[in-house]
Structure 1
Amino acid sequence: MNKLLKVLAASALVATVLVGCGKKGETGGDATTAAKYAKAGLGVVSSYSEDGQVNTTMAAVGLDADGKVQYIDIDVAQSTPGGGDKEKTQTKKELKEKYGMKSVSASMGVIKDGGEWYEQAEYLENYCKGKTAEEIANIETEKRDEEHTSVPKSGSDLTAGCTMDIGTFKEAIAKAIANAQDANAEKIGIGEVMSNGDAQLDTTIALVATDADGKVVYSKIDVAQINKDVTATKSERKDDYGMKSVSASMGAIEGGAEWYQQAEAFEKYCKGKTADEIAKTATEKRDEEHTSVPKSGSDLAAGCTMDIGAFLEAMSEAFSSAK
């Protein structure tokens, strides 16, 4: 073999080795790294107090391949249905300065100039990033008074920006991580729609995970319909929710379908679609209470016949907030 052939052969060998040593997740000539979020999950914890106030705490997470939190959103839907809050339709985070915690926080003197609710929530979110479920569960807390039994431990790094009770936040985050499903997503977002009844608060929640093209790779729809007797979400109630017999009587879905099954049919329908495509889902009015049901004869109507108006609104908000 002459000198030139030897050089070419050596170059080819080096190129082969370099291709073979690409990072895990890379493919072909246009190698791409693994998706930003390996899994996405939603956790919801609700309570109903003696004075009729509903608190629905929502946590959405995006985990990397090592199970560490890289995306997190914490929010609370708080209202007293029938008690003067009937028009309240914004979460604590959406209320921003209107929530009015900053002056109270400032009077405590722990956070310089105080911290509004959404600011303290964001501080906790940033504190949780890069941590595992176990590390978040082990965040040290202490009792401040009878109403605040799980505030960040005095002198800890977390108290520099968050001094409110985080007990329920930790519980919702733990549920979100436990519920996390494979997503391989580039963006995650969450949307909430609040609706007050005479004796209950309905919070429709949409978690959306999308690929680099903005198409849904995973979604989760749930509704926290909370009153003095119920604090579990509709999905969590499974067959106890009792929609199947009603659905069966309508005859649109053979044998009927429970709420969680119809929600799963909607999630399946959304997979692979963009925000615009989902927003254009054809709906029709069935009666005065059901004004946005899937259009009769559509693919979606084969598995979902309940009103999806709030679903579509929450999904739109989730797409808008995705990051």
Structure 2
Amino acid sequence: MKKTLALLLSLALVLLLMVGCSSNTPVQGSKDEPGDVVEVVGENEGAAAKMGLGVITSIAKSKDADDNNTLALGQVDTVMVAASFDQEGKVVSITIDNAQTRVNFDADLKVTNDKAAEIKTKIELGDAYGMINASEIGKEWYQQIDELENWMVGKTVAEIKAMNVKEVDASHPAVPDVPELTSLVTISIQDYVAALEKAFANAIEVEGAEKLGLGHVVSIGKSKDYSVDADGNETLPLAQVDTVMAATAFDTDGKVVGTIIDNAQTRINFDAEGKVTSDKAAEFKTKIELGDAYGMINASEIGKEWYQQIAELEKWMVGKTVAEIKAMNVKEVDDSHPAVPDVPELTSLVTISVQDYIASVEEAFTNAK
């Protein structure tokens, strides 16, 4: 009996030592054999840790009026990229769009567009953009940009910038030249990559981001006709395009976990003959990029610049749903300020009109992926 008990105790001790010494325990329910090393993957690996908004604006395609019946044209191309990144800087989600906005003038330098009309981006135009008719691969712009976005996911900005490209012609200096994209993307991508790089540089930290969206509101309402008043004072033609955009991240409950709102307010000036007087090759900055140089603080009753006020609005939105944001009390100050925040948290911090910023965040939620 004593021998049997001693034997049992010895076996129990051996088993205990075997279990204690094993550091390569397989995951419960796995098919790993004893002794196999099992890598435990962190729950947040690959999750969005940061999000950013990048913008590139050009007026290079604007045209002078001339004697050959070419009418004056102000064209603003604003490329915008909303992107989220994981802890390693790899793209988790990305949306690229282009607001290609034209302000047309007649022979008398009067704006012929409907200034109140809705202006759509290339993604919103979809098949109506009409690039497919000239596409050698039979794909519309939105289809090609979708393929480019898919290729970017999982890569760092450095890896994306290292993509091989080829110059097809002067209008297409950087077309993808990698096997995965040659039959899918024939558009030139330099501005999209540059805007992504800006998005990464401008990225803010977010926690709990499940989806990311890009929203925008585009207006030409402040463009001006050429005119001369009774005293002979001229108002010169102006093509002004305001492209409001919001890159916004949402959690599983649809609450904002981070948002970046900006406005590319781009002016193209013409002389009395319809010649563009703005520098077509200039860098055009958004209101956030302009910072103190935007100059709103001089007229601000609360002594805050535009970028400071929009930062306060963004902070107020965090933790709220779109419905809660839209339910904000606002007040009309004047015709130019029909929707100024009228809530205690913001009355001393935000005096700008917020209707387009809220609309952009709402669209970002609708478009989130």
TM band (smaller chain): 0.7 to 0.9
DSSP-derived class of the 2:284 partner:
coil
Does the CA-based 8 Å contact 1:23-1:33 persist in structure 2?
no
Q: Kindly report which structure 2 residues correspond to 1:256-271, keeping only aligned pairs within 5 A, or say none.
A: 256-271=303-318
RMSD across aligned C-alpha pairs, in angstroms? 2.9
Does the CA-based 8 Å contact 2:332-2:340 persist in structure 1?
yes
Q: Which one has the bigger helix percentage? A: 1
Q: Kindly report which structure 2 residues correspond to 1:57-206, keeping only aligned pairs within 5 A, or say none.
A: 57-83=79-105, 84-85=112-113, 86=115, 87=117, 89-105=119-135, 109=136, 111=137, 114-153=138-177, 156-184=179-207, 185-197=209-221, 198=223, 199-206=239-246
Does the CA-based 8 Å contact 1:143-1:151 persist in structure 2?
yes
Residue 304 of structure 1 corresponds to 350
Aligned mates of 1:98, 1:166 — CA distance in 2: 21
1:210 aligns to 2:256 (yes or no): no
Aligned mates of 1:35, 1:133 — CA distance in 2: 15
Q: TM-score, normalised by structure 2?
A: 0.74
Residue 287 of structure 2 corresponds to 234
- What letter matches 2:289 in structure 1? E
Larger radius of gyration: 2
Deviation at 1:318, TM superposition (A): 0.7
Decide whether aligned partners of structure 1 residues 35 and 161 sit closer, same or farther in structure 2, where only a CA change above 3 A counts: closer
Note the residue ranges of structure 2 that are not aligned, 5 or more in a row. 1-7, 29-37, 64-73, 106-111, 224-238, 269-277
Decide whether aligned partners of structure 1 residues 35 and 299 sit closer, same or farther in structure 2, where only a CA change above 3 A counts: farther
Note the residue ranges of structure 1 that are not aligned, 5 or more in a row. 26-31
Does the CA-based 8 Å contact 1:63-1:71 persist in structure 2?
yes
Q: TM-score, normalised by structure 1?
A: 0.84
DSSP-derived class of the 1:115 partner:
coil
Aligned mates of 1:178, 1:23 — CA distance in 2: 31
Residue 231 of structure 2 corresponds to none
Residue 52 of structure 2 corresponds to 41
Deviation at 1:262, TM superposition (A): 0.3
Residue 272 of structure 2 corresponds to none
Deviation at 1:12, TM superposition (A): 12
Residue 320 of structure 2 corresponds to 273
Residue 362 of structure 2 corresponds to 316
Q: Deviations over 1:267-295 (max 9, x none)?
A: 11111111111111111111112111111
Aligned mates of 1:320, 1:34 — CA distance in 2: 26
- What letter matches 2:93 in structure 1? Y
- What letter matches 1:217 in structure 2? V
Deviation at 1:82, TM superposition (A): 4.3
